[in-house]
Chains A and B, each alone.
Chain A
């Protein structure tokens, strides 16, 4: 049993760190712009496909491919913010509608371009195995955890030690705050979307090779990340990290006792309970007033 728990813990932490990337992206967008971006999952998926593309047809180097897909996603992020979400500020219903539209376009677009079959890419990190006693994991498991940790650290430094980062945090408190810091809020919004999408791209780039790259690969992570930010507290960055890792590890350990076909039921059940007991999440602050 002990080994089982250790194994589940490591697997959970690996998936958890992927959820963290997604959750961070969604939480930044929600915190700064109050947009709930359901399309984040398909962006994650696009990240996977682009990595595959860059790896095989351009660079041939996995790290470069990852960077490439992050940059590309950041660019996509700018487009989305400028063309889709900027005009819909404070228009919750239409933001939801648009994100659903984006899901349809991107997911089916990918099928049109790459076909319904899954893609595979197996860089050395996936082929090499790391063994502890009878357990063995691919090197990629640890690469993922490492890279995510680094990304989170970088994001933290950015948010706390740069003027733009401060502006972002300020904006998430009060939109006019950015102006006070002397920064055009629109720049903050664009930047937020860039970072969020780049993180999604990174997630896809990391997870894709470990398994396969296919059109629905982003759906589950998106839903898990959604649960993560609710449980952690909408708009709270530490909440997203704890929530993401938490869901990853708990749902992985839970399969030792709960039948797996009810695993999602459990996750969503917990999510609903959380909303009822403590809607503002673990780290979120209670919001007064109507909205």
Chain B
């Protein structure tokens, strides 16, 4: 009996992630880039639940991430709450906003919903930028503290250190990944992906289209909130430009690149999108032009990204009949 590809890759990635601090202990830069990639993996997982499984496009997701980020940052910086409650605060803030936006907007037809997410993203950016008193405005919000140490017996984990923070981010990303894992393999997950494939069939089978969409949207915005929070805690500074429309589009890009609708899609996408350019360090314009062409090609020939392509190859190897499912 063969393990499904996704399971194998998942195990490999988790193992790699867990061992990274030991492998790259001597090379903080690599660890740094991996942490950054993880900070993007988390919201990418959120988008995967929304886009990859439920089939809803959101072009303003980093806006929700920003809500989580600023909430967590302010709770820790100004209110002085410890890390965990602050993080939950950020998560709930983002999820609740998702709820408020979702209630009216998820009844809209596909195009309209996309436009709404775009508009919401823009509005949120403006607020981050203009509310100088609250968010520090366009000058950014410096001096965001990182969580304090935890001491298990003699073993001390200092989250201010790079390694410590990597471990923290990895644990959280792993938890989120686990959540995604059980979600999409549950009846709930199957209902979601039925919505992507054929909404009216799903309805005829008894899926409450609106309810399930709302649940998926709230989940993905809450997860995005966690991701945003981790990002600003990592950078120890928040800036509106970290949560603008381009960032939202980048988020979509890394998911589509990695493979929407695959468990490991967001992980692979984030790593390829963040890490590769970091190591290549090519001119930004060239990098973006390149990604533009990649998107066109993916859209046309491999709508399910790297994972989709890998699956085809894997099926060929395990001489199953190769077949890529067209996304529609």
Contacts and interface: CB of A to CB of B under 8 A. Distances in A.
In the complex they form, do A and B come into direct contact, defined as C-beta atoms under 8 angstroms apart?
Answer: yes
Contacts of A30: 111
A255 interface: no
Given A97-B256, A104-B289, A104-B292, A88 B122 contact: no
Interface of A: 30, 34, 36, 84, 87-88, 90-98, 100-109, 111-112, 223, 226-227, 230, 234, 261-262, 264-265, 268-269, 271-272, 275-276, 279, 287, 290-291
Interface stretch (B13-21, B212-220, B294-302): B294-302
Contact of B327 (A91, A268, A271): A91
B115 interface: yes
Q: Main SS of the interface on chain A?
A: helix
A281 to B, nearest CB: 10
A83 to B, nearest CB: 8
Nearest to B103: A276
15 contacts: A94-B327, A97-B298, A97-B303, A98-B296, A100-B295, A101-B296, A101-B299, A109-B285, A223-B122, A234-B112, A261-B129, A261-B130, A264-B126, A265-B122, A275-B105
Contact of A104 (B59, B105, B288, B328): B288
A234 B111 contact: yes
Interface residues of B, number: 47
B293 to A, nearest CB: 6
Contacts of B295: 97-98, 100-101, 104
A262 B120 CA distance: 13
A230 B296 contact: no
Interface string B281-319: 000111011011111101110010000000000000000
Contacts of B130: 261-262
B114 interface: yes
B296 A102 contact: yes
B310 to A, nearest CB: 19
Nearest to B301: A87
Nearest to B296: A101
B116 interface: yes
Given A90-B328, A230-B112, A291-B109, A96 B123 contact: no
A229 B170 CA distance: 44
Given A93-B55, A112-B289, A272-B119, A279 B108 contact: yes
B104 interface: yes
Contact of A105 (B127, B284, B289, B298): B289
B112 A275 contact: yes
B58 to A, nearest CB: 11
B298 A261 contact: no
Given A94-B299, A98-B299, A100-B295, 10 more contacts: A88-B300, A93-B51, A98-B296, A98-B300, A101-B291, A111-B285, A112-B285, A265-B126, A268-B120, A269-B123
A30 to B, nearest CB: 8
A21 B194 CA distance: 40
Pick the most buried of A261, A269, A272, A276: most chain B CB atoms within 10 A of its CB: A272
Contacts of B299: 88, 94-95, 97-98, 101
Interface string B262-276: 000000000000000
Contacts of A36: 111, 114-115
